[in-house]
Amino acid sequence: MFRPNFSYNDSIVNNLLEIYSIKEFISNAPMVVEMEVSLKRDALLKSVHHSTAIEGNPLSLNQVDKLAKGIEINAQKKAKQEVLNYLKVLENLDKYSENGKITEKNILQLHEDITHYTLEYTYLEGQYRTIPVHVVNNKGETVYKPPHVNLIHTEMENFVEWINHIIKLNPVIAAGIIHYEFVRIHPFVDGNGRTGRSLAALFLYLKNFDVDRFFTLDEYYDNDRQSYYDALNSVDSETQELTKWLEYFLEGFKISITEIKDQILLFSPEKVGKQKIRLSNKYMKILEYINSNGSITNSDVQKLLNISRQGAYKYLKYLMDIDTVDKKGGSRSTHYVLKNTVPPQL
C-alpha cells in the first residue's frame, strides 16, 4: 500500500491549529440563509474559473458566471465546454463516491465528466493513459516525467486503497497528499490537474471538512502559479518527501479559509445577529437557483425538485415564512426573489 513520507514541523502544526480554529468559527457563525447561499455560489464560480484557468482556459470570472446562468458568451467552444464540465462536476461532487468511499471507477467517471468533449479523442475520456507523457513548462522544457504506463494500474490501486483506509491521519493533511500523489502518478493523457484538485475537494467533502463548500483553494493556486508548480516540484523524486509541499498546501488552506471568516465578520451586525437556520438540500437548491437566476417561479420549483405545483408552493411558502424570499408580481407573473441578498464577490 502507498505510504506517504513527510514530517510534522512548526509551520504545519501551527497552520493546522489555526485552520481548525477558523473552521470552528465558520461552522458556528450565525449566518443568515441568503449569505450562506451567496458564499457557496461565490466559491463554486471561483473554483471553476481558477482551476480551469490554471490549465490555460482563457475565460474570465465574469464569463464563467454568465455561462453558469445559461447566458451565451462569445468564446471558443472548447473553453466553454471545459467550464461547463467543471461546473457540473462541482455541483454534483457527492455522486463520485460509493458509501463514503472513493473507487477507481469513481475517479475514471470524474475524469470523463471533467474532460467530456474537450480532448482530441473521446476514447481518452475516463481512461488511463497508454502512452508516455511529459509535463512541460511555459518554455517547452520538460519538468517532470510521470511513471511508466505499465505502472499506472498498480499505483492507482495502491493509492485508492490508501485513501479508503486513512483513519488516524488528519483530513487536511490527507487532502494535500491526495492532491500531490494523483498529480505525480499522472494517470491520464490530459486533465490530471483538474481531476486531482477536484479529488482532494471530494475527499474533504466526504470527511465533512469542506466547511459547507464556502471556500476554494484553486484561487490560491492560480494567483501565483509559479509557486504552485514550485511546491509540487519541491518533492524529491527518489525520497518522495512531501513536507515542503504540505507546508505550501496548508498555508493556502489557511489563507483561503481565513478569507471566508473575514467576509462573515464584515457582514452587517444586525444580520449576523439573526438566528442561523439550517435548511435541507431541497430548500438550498431553490435558493441557489434564485441566486443564480435572480428569481424563481412555481413552475421552476416543480422542474427543479420534480414535485407537484402544490408541493412547490409549500416549499416557497416556508421560505417566505422564515423571511428569506419575497413574492413579487401577480397572477401569471408571480415569481420569488431573495430578501436582503448579499452581493456575490465577483
Domain residue spans in the chain? 10-266, 281-338
Cβ neighbours of residue 64 under 8 Å, at least 6 residues apart? 45, 48, 49, 83, 87
Cell of 17: 491549529
The average pLDDT across 310-315 equals 93
The pLDDT tens digits of the residues spanning 133-160 come to 988 777 777 878 899 999 999 999 999 9
Return the CATH number of 10-266, one of 1.10.3290.10, 3.50.30.60, 1.25.40.10, 3.40.1160.10: 1.10.3290.10
CA atoms within 13 Å, Cβ hemisphere of 157: 5
144 DSSP β-pair partners: 135
How much is the pLDDT for 106?
Answer: 98
Cell of 207: 470527511
Rounded to an integer, what distance in angstroms lies between the CA atom of residue 59 and that of residue 61? 7
325 DSSP β-pair partners: 338
Q: Burial code of 295-304, b = ≥16 C-beta within 10 A, e = fewer? A: bbbbebbbeb
Q: What is the pTM of this model?
A: 0.82
Rounded to an integer, what distance in angstroms lies between the CA atom of residue 296 and that of residue 328? 10
Task: Quote helix, strand, coil % in the chain, to nearest 5.
Answer: 60, 5, 35
User: Which CATH class, in words, describes the domain spanning 281-338?
Assistant: mainly alpha
- Per-residue DSSP letter, 343: P
How much is the pLDDT for 340?
Answer: 59
